Amino acid sequence: QVQLVQSGGGLVQAGGSLRLACSAPGRTFSRAAMAWFRQAPGKDREFVVRISRNGRSTDYADSAKGRFTISRANDKNTVFLQMNSLKPEDTAVYYCAARQTILTDYTNYRSLTDYAHWGQGTQVTVSS
């Protein structure tokens, strides 16, 4: 089991921005599609966004489109989630996840079981 290490998050007012980061060991990161999920209190963990191994393909949940941006810095073995125009309903624990894929796999992996490696989670709280 490979542990992904997350940073960022915190408390922000509605309309504000936050950036999350997730790092993985180089061998894992370079061969993986990366994703972010979130889990609000009392709810199931849900898909937010995915980026392909080569960074050329992304897939956003409707709730994230136009407000969130995923990117990856392969030289830093890190994936980022920039969240703008945050809403109270974005309040959740955010998790990054990794799935080993071939270089040109652009499948929209959205299920929890599609990912073998997970971060520890980071709290994002948006106040109204």
Beta-carbon contacts of 37 under 8 Å, excluding residues fewer than 6 positions away, are 45, 46, 47, 48, 94, 95, 96, 97, 112
Q: Provide block-wise average pLDDT over 10 residues at a time, the chain (128 residues).
A: 92 98 92 97 97 96 98 96 98 97 94 96 97
- pLDDT at residue 10, as a whole number: 97
